[in-house]
Structure 1
Amino acid sequence: MPVEDLPSKVILTDPLDPNTNLTILKYGATIISWKNHGQEQLWLSEEARLDGSKPVRGGIPLVFPIFGKQKDPKHPTASLPQHGFARSSTWEFLGQTMESPVTVQFGLGPEHLSKEMATAWPFDFTLILTITLKENSLVTNISVANEGAPFEFNWLFHTYYRLNDITDTLVNNLVDQTCYDQLLTTSYIEKAPAISFHEEFDRVYSQINPARTIQIIDKGKVLFNLHRDGLPDCVVWNPWAKKSAAMADFMPKSAFHQMLCVEPGYVHSMITLMPGEKWVAEQEIELGGEIKIQANIY
């Protein structure tokens, strides 16, 4: 059965390959597993809470309507928790919309929020998340519709990738991009032809040309190609030893060696959505292929 609707999760299976499947937790509409021909592509903490008690550590959590914590105390998102409420609300499973490739949708609106969150962010919105499992890729599409007063928001696909070893990993095609280093609290132009990882890493790359394919590479082999539509920014994050040790739900503590977050989104500024308007964006994670150099290397 290509779509299995269970009480707490939905499982998608490729009709042509039962070893290619996807598990989506209804809490947060969080993708917690993506197996391609039996090989897991996403990292999930061994201590991740899958019971709805807190956002999931791993997989693909959804960040809306604020990235991080709002610094302006007068902004409507100021009273929201870090990364907003989409990842900590139970979404409605709307069903299967396509047989081949197998596609499903989830929805979230004010009626799905806790009383506390609905009071903290009293806007009339509709989120529709469309997830498509293909033979060699995963597509996540988000639609945000405004049914009432104007509001501002961020969006981010907070994707945790599974790796063999972070020290053998490179991220390609972010050279010459403006980035904000959240550890140094400063902005600069990235000059590394490919990004490598040997310590804690937390940068936000902004307004990346949509034609650029961000690649995650392991020892010369392309693992993932990130294609983006409407998502001009990208967060790259690895907590390394000290920060992972401080996170109770990050296990095992050495697992920062086996994970990397590369997160397409819209976070360099906020999107303003007027009454009746809709905003749509999409990421496609494609596996394998050749290394692409889409930048000037000096």
Structure 2
Amino acid sequence: MVERVNKPKPPTLSSTPGLPPQATVTFSDDNSRVVAELPTGESVEVLLYGATVISWKDASGNEKLWLSDAAKLDGSKAVRGGIPVVFPVFGTAPTHPQTKDLPQHGFARTSRWEFLGKSTSESTADNNTSANNEPTVKLDFGLSSGSPGLDPLAHAHWPFRFNLIYSVTLNPSSLTTSIVATNDGAEPFECQVLMHTYLRVNDITAIEIHGLSNASYTDKVDAGAAKTQTTTPLTITGETDRVYAPVEEAVTVAEQGRPKYRVTRDNLSNVVVWNPWTDKAQSIADFEPKDGFKKMLCVEPGAVGSWQAVEAGDAFEGAQTITLL
């Protein structure tokens, strides 16, 4: 039999006669990223390096995440923008025995993850994202202590057996990212988890952040001082780097007085709010354009206020859902 030279590739998820249109999932030519698109037009793009979400667009093609113009997407450096995955340490922890020698934000964002597969709303009918019969696609990614793409620094400085499953779920009105960190070894480990979400905004000076009333926080711009959010809503008027422990499970970002995003946490007790403002942006080599701080706001759900102890055979799970308002 003669093989067709230019045989077309079918979509990863194709339409079946008699069934509603389904999502399509495709790979880039160099297999470095996965793109999922709903039949209604929304899309999400995930780089296998770091399992980093680098794009999320609504049905009209409007981008919802901020990505630096100088972001490295070739696996040479953690991505500046999108949604990098932070594990097993937030920032650096020089006094924590298990993670003191790891680079900033750990190794999950600097490892190449494996694409484990996809599912659609028809096969995840019990998922609350499909409760309104909206089309949904879920992408699963994996990283473990035995992964060939694991950052060598992990082997050298974090000798624990682990398995991470990271899922990215897209529907017309929201994006959910969730992580399950399992301890596959005989020894307990401690970890921190964070989803370093860069939201795209039109004007940072017109932003209000609701849902932080009376929340305690650590002010990293003020030498780590412990404070309480006494004014509400929060506005951004200069460099901001705060680790909140909110009482409310959702934070709402409004622009020009109109709600824009709602970020809901599941088993993640903290929210980091970050914007580098003028001077800090100038000092970050891969932050471009330098006035890009005007167009972005990091609202980062995580479990970073303390260490999460994961016993042998146990797992830590956490998730965020970003809803368009």
TM norm structure 1: 0.93
CA RMSD across the alignment: 1.1
Deviations 1:233-270 (A, max 9, x none): 00000000101001110000011100010100000001
Distance apart, 1:219 and its partner CA: 0.7
Name the counterpart of 1:218.
255
Deviations 1:7-49 (A, max 9, x none): 000001012x23x100000000000000012110000000000
**Structure 2 counterparts to residues 17-96 of structure 1, below 5 A:** 17-18=40-41, 20-37=42-59, 38-72=61-95, 75-96=97-118
Distance apart, 1:279 and its partner CA: 1.4
1:101 aligns with 2:116: no
Distance apart, 1:282 and its partner CA: 1.0
> How has the CA–CA distance of structure 1 residues 5 and 95 changed in structure 2, closer, same or farther, with 3 Å as cutoff?
farther
1:155 aligns with 2:177: no
How many angstroms apart in 1 are the aligned matches of 2:25 and 2:216? 41
Contact residue 94 and residue 101 of structure 2 kept, 8 A: no
How many angstroms apart in 2 are the aligned matches of 1:164 and 1:116? 38
Runs of 4+ in 1 over 6 A off after TM superposition: none
1:171 aligns with 2:194: no
Deviations 1:199-234 (A, max 9, x none): 10111002x23x532001101111100111101100
Whichever structure has more strand as a proportion of its residues is: 1
**Structure 2 counterparts to residues 274-285 of structure 1, below 5 A:** 274-285=311-322
Name the counterpart of 1:257.
294
How many angstroms apart in 2 are the aligned matches of 1:98 and 1:199? 42
Name the counterpart of 1:228.
265
How many angstroms apart in 2 are the aligned matches of 1:140 and 1:28? 13
> How has the CA–CA distance of structure 1 residues 78 and 162 changed in structure 2, closer, same or farther, with 3 Å as cutoff?
same
Q: Residue type of the partner of 1:221?
A: R
1:187 aligns with 2:226: yes
Q: Residue type of the partner of 2:37?
A: T
Name the counterpart of 1:294.
none
Q: Residue type of the partner of 1:54?
A: K
Deviations 1:272-298 (A, max 9, x none): 00001011111110001xxxxxxxxxx
Q: Secondary structure at the match of 2:316?
A: strand
Name the counterpart of 1:293.
none
1:10 aligns with 2:47: no
- Identify unmatched segments of 5+ residues in structure 2: 1-10, 12-23, 122-134
Computing the radius of gyration from Cα coordinates, the structure with the larger value is 2
Name the counterpart of 1:247.
284
